Amino acid sequence: MSILRRTALALALASAALVVPCNASAETLAGAMAKAYQNNPDLNAARASLRAIDENVTIAKAGMRPRVSLVTQSELNRTNLDVGSRNFFGQRGSRRTQSFTSSYGLTITQQIFDGFQTLYRVKVAEANVLANRESLRANEISILLAAVESYANIARDQQILTIRKQNIAFLQEQLKAAGARLDVGEGTRTDVSLAEADLAAAKALLTAAVSQLKQSEAAYVQIVGEMPKGIKQPSSAKKAMPASLDQAVATGMRENPNILAAMRSVDAAGYNVKVAEGTMLPGVSLQGDVYKSVNSEEGPADNLSSSLSARVTVPLYQGGAEYGQIRQAKEQLGQRQILVDSARMDVQRTIVSAYAQFESSVASIAAIGAQIEAANMALEGVIEERNVGQRTTLDVLNVQQNVLDAREDLAISQRNAVVASYSVLAATGNLTVRSQDLAVAEYRSEVHYEAVKDKWFGLRTVDGR
């Protein structure tokens, strides 16, 4: 079999390997995203953080509820009394008396009005819950995109590794052919040296490709939680992909979780202004006390007492801290409003950049495909011309390098097209379990919130800890 035919066969086998159906243990891109969504420790930590933030609503609502305290007090009194006349030494007699008094009871305090501070603290907590839900959704999208990127990186690195192995086989054949021609006097020692140099360089590139693949596999394990199995070349995103750049930008402005989180933060900051202003309003509270006392002096005696009091507090001046807090809250509100504009600009830039990269990668794939076809034809012609003495081994190696570079560029462009397409989905807020039909249960943060927002008692978390 000629060198040309062996090269053509190797290319055909490499192309076929990319389209062979994966076996039962192979991992699909959707499967990798589902596993990352379920297993990624950073994502699970973010979910736990949101559950902790849910409790802030219950904590804020405590200001509307009564406070009940059990109070108990005990007192022992001893007294020495002088009695009778003086004795021979001039000392009087004495008698010791003691009394024991104890009391216990309940104190109930209820805030009636606190300048609407508690009301707005609850609203602040609720707005922060909604903001952090959007932040969690952004975190989920980021993890899903990272899973796509790590999967596509492995597919790219596997292709490059295969290409470089095939290149070594080709160069080994070229070295053998150069040696054979030298033996019969048709070639030169220079041809052999050129083939040896290219073979050594190809082995170094193969080592680099192996190292890069291992690094990509390590990143995959970190994100997905499992070793990659049967990775194949993924296709670009299709589900929920916007039809145009304008549609992508419009969707991102409406659904990107970073923008929505920033808007919820504006709501929370606005309520914080109301909380600060509430410190300058009057406060009204009620307190009820029920006490029972026991006095052992002159026989046990029980007394039951109760009282109800109302307290009105009108703040007049608190050192100026209240004014500073109000101004501070207003400045924070202005900052949050500016951050919304910043988030919108960042999302727009990300969408435009990702969409442009996607279009560029798609165009590159088509152009490189034509380049590979032309380079293969050129390689065939140069080999034939070399065989009849019209070309040198250096010409063959140069054309082979063009074929190698083009095939590696194709693998890189395929990877970039996949990552860019899913980056567009991520920036628009549509890279979700639901939009991609992933085979994993969607995490519903509102379930925990509804379970704890009105709890009055209990130490255990919803999951039983």
Task: Annotate 180-235 with three-state secondary structure.
Answer: HHHHCCCCCHHHHHHHHHHHHHHHHHHHHHHHHHHHHHHHHHHHHCCCCCCCCCCC
Predicted confidence (pLDDT) at residue 285 exceeds the cutoff of 90:
yes
Q: How confident is the model at residue 6 (pLDDT cuts 50, 70, 90)?
A: very low
What is the pLDDT at residue 93?
57
Stretch 203-215: mean pLDDT: 95
In the predicted model, is pLDDT for residue 174 greater than 80? no
Asked if residues 440 and 38 have their Cβ atoms less than 8 Å apart, the reply is yes
DSSP letter, residue 346: H
Confidence of residue 20 (pLDDT cuts 50, 70, 90): very low
Supply the pLDDT for residue 81.
60
Is residue 285 a contact partner of residue 111, using CB atoms and an 8 Å limit? yes
Residue 175 neighbours by CB under 8 Å, 6+ apart: 192, 195, 196, 199
The answer to whether the CB of 325 falls within 8 A of the CB of 278 is no
Average pLDDT value for residue range 293-312: 76
Q: Which pLDDT does position 219 carry in this prediction?
A: 96
Length of the chain: 465
The answer, yes or no, to whether residue 440 has pLDDT greater than 60, is yes
Q: How far is CA 78 from the centre of its chain?
A: 68
Structure tokens at 86: 């003086």
> In terms of Cα–Cα distance, which of 59, 51, 56, 52 is closest to 456?
59
Would you say residue 4 has pLDDT above 50? no
The token duo for 28 is 């699909």
* Cβ atoms within 10 Å of 391's Cβ, excluding its own: 17
CA distances, 311 to each of 110, 120, 283, 285, 295 (Å): 10, 22, 8, 5, 31
Radius of gyration of the chain (CA): 39
pLDDT for residue 356: 96
**CA atoms of 340 and 346, how far apart (whole Å):** 10
* pLDDT of amino acid 184: 75
- Per-residue model confidence (pLDDT) at position 29: 95
Q: Residue 87 has what pLDDT?
A: 55
Q: For residue 314, what are the CA distances in angstroms to 224, 273, 278?
A: 59, 20, 11
What is the per-residue pLDDT for 379?
84
Rounded to 5°, angle at Cα 141 from 138 and 142: 85
Residue 74 DSSP symbol = E
pLDDT at residue 171 in the model: 83
Strand partners for 83: 93
- Quick check: 397 and 194 in contact, CB under 8 A? yes
Distance, CA of 159 to CA of 168 (rounded, Å): 14
C-alpha 213/C-alpha 219 separation (Å) is 10
Least reliable range by pLDDT among 90-99, 167-176, 300-309, 332-341 = 90-99
Q: What is the pLDDT of residue 346?
A: 97
Q: What is the 3-state composition of the chain as percent helix, strand, coil, each rounded to the nearest 5?
A: 65, 15, 20
Residue 301 pLDDT grade (very low, low, confident, very high; cuts 50, 70, 90):
low
Point out which residues pair with 290 in neighbouring strands: 106, 306
Q: Which two tokens stand for residue 437?
A: 């039909």
Residue 311's H or E segment, with its range, is strand 301-313
Mean pLDDT score across all residues of the chain: 87
Q: 183 or 342: whose pLDDT is higher?
A: 342
Contacts for 182 with CB less than 8 Å, ≥ 6 apart: 188, 189, 191, 192
Q: Average pLDDT, stretch 214-226?
A: 95
Most confident range, picked from 79-88, 285-294, 387-396? 285-294
Question: What is the DSSP secondary-structure string of 106-119?
Answer: EEEEEEEESTTHHH
pLDDT at 117: 95
What pLDDT does 463 receive? 74
pLDDT reported for residue 114: 93
**CA 142 distance to own-chain centroid:** 6
Q: Provide the pLDDT confidence category of residue 2 given band limits of 50, 70 and 90.
A: very low
Confidence of residue 237 (pLDDT cuts 50, 70, 90): very high
* Runs of H (alpha helix) within 300-392: 321-387
Is the pLDDT reported for residue 210 higher than 70?
Answer: yes
List domains and CATH numbers for the chain.
3-67+116-282+319-438+448-452 (1.20.1600.10)
What proportion of the chain, given as a percentage, has pLDDT over 70? Answer: 88
- What's the whole-model pTM score? 0.83
Interval 310-364: pLDDT, tens: 999 999 998 899 999 999 999 999 999 999 999 999 999 999 999 999 999 999 9
242 falls in which pLDDT band (50, 70, 90)?
very high
Q: What is the pLDDT of residue 464?
A: 67
